[in-house]
């Protein structure tokens, strides 16, 4: 009887061994077999289906601004150049002229909204106006400073050069803007030095002209070319190449009286990439 049990156990063992061996051999040949190549329309299995292309683009852009030493170096370099330009222009500032000033944008020029971008990415969402409004209204405590901005603003104050902030933040949230600027120790003594959104909305031309009436504007500082001139606005006729041509036509102004900071997160350059009805298709 014991001998029969031994034979039975041996038989089962051989059978199990053959099954395991077969599975291993099958797996080995499966590993060797060519894998299907993803098509242009296929989605990799590891890709969350709820994420859209704008969210993926935002992830890399936000990681660059929040983690790269290169981004920090670019900002410090821009503000170092801005300091030198202000010093040179102040040396030539004659008596009796209008008070000197520097006009600056706020978002991604002086202040960093990386926490908003990170939240949108975590939620798998692209930019949304309602959520941005909620950010302006409720989340000023999460706003940080762009590298180099505070030192530059402190030097302007010491040199008695006014900082004028022309921003497209909502007029409805003026109080909140003052609150976070005060927290960041950025001085805005009178509302006239913080022009927010205008009837023209994103067009800053009239607000820049008003600043030029009151001050000798030494420098414009921004992260979007439209912080300097509406000639850089994207349209169907101009397209992306037209914007580049507009830069070349005005190249003498960059580093002289226009200082631009890097912003890979959003701006005029992203409009062709969103595929919304209001955007212009310029990609070839």
Q: What is the pLDDT of residues 133-160, one digit of tens each?
A: 999 999 999 999 999 999 999 999 999 9
CATH number attached to the domain at 53-273:
3.40.50.1000
Angle at 77 between CA 75 and CA 78, to 5 degrees: 65
Residue 30 confidence (pLDDT): 38
Q: Kindly list the domain boundaries of the chain, sorted by start residue.
A: 53-273
Cα-Cα-Cα-Cα dihedral sign, residues 106, 227, 218, 195: negative
d(Cα 186, Cα 154) in Å, to the nearest integer? Answer: 9
Q: What is the pLDDT of residues 162-188, one digit of tens each?
A: 999 999 999 999 999 999 999 999 999
Q: What is the pLDDT of residue 79?
A: 98
Span 191-246, pLDDT tens digits = 889 999 887 788 999 999 999 999 999 999 999 999 999 999 988 777 888 899 99
CA 192/CA 181 separation, integer angstroms: 15
pLDDT, the chain, mean: 80
What's residue 20's pLDDT? 43
- Expressed in percent and rounded to 5, the helix, strand and coil fractions of the chain are 55, 10, 35
The secondary structure of 209-262 as a DSSP string is HHHHHHSEEEEEEESSGGGT-GGG---TTTHHHHHHHHHHHTGGGBTTTEEE--
Which of 113, 167, 117 is CA-nearest to residue 141?
A: 113
pLDDT tier, 51 (very low <50, low <70, confident <90, very high otherwise): low
pLDDT band at 61 (very low <50, low <70, confident <90, very high): confident
């Amino acid at each position: 009887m014991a001998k029969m049990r031994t034979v039975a156990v041996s038989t089962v063992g051989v059978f199990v061994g053959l099954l395991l061996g077969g599975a291993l051999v099958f797996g080995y040949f499966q590993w060797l077999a060519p894998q299907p190549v993803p098509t242009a329309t296929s989605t990799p299995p590891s890709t969350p289906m709820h994420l859209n292309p704008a969210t993926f683009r935002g992830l890399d852009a936000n990681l660059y601004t929040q983690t790269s030493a290169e981004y920090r170096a670019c900002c410090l370099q821009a503000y170092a150049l801005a300091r030198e330009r202000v010093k040179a222009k102040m040396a030539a500032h004659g008596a009796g002229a209008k008070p000197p000033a520097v006009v600056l944008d706020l978002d991604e020029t002086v202040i960093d909204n990386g926490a908003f971008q990170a939240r949108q990415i975590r939620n798998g969402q692209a930019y949304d106006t309602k959520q941005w409004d909620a950010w302006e209204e409720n989340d000023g405590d999460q706003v940080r400073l762009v590298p180099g901005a505070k030192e530059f603003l402190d030097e302007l104050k010491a040199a008695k050069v006014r900082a004028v902030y022309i921003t497209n933040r909502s007029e409805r949230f003026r109080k909140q803007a003052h609150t976070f600027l005060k927290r960041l120790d950025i001085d805005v003594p009178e509302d006239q030095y913080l022009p927010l959104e205008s009837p023209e909305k994103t067009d800053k031309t009239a607000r820049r002209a008003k600043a030029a009436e009151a001050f000798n504007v030494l420098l414009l500082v921004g992260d979007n070319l439209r912080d300097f001139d509406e000639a850089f606005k994207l349209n169907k006729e101009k397209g992306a190449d037209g914007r580049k041509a507009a830069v070349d036509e005005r190249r003498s102004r960059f580093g002289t009286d226009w200082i631009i900071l890097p912003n890979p997160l959003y701006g005029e350059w992203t409009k062709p990439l969103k595929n919304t009805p209001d955007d212009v298709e310029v990609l070839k």
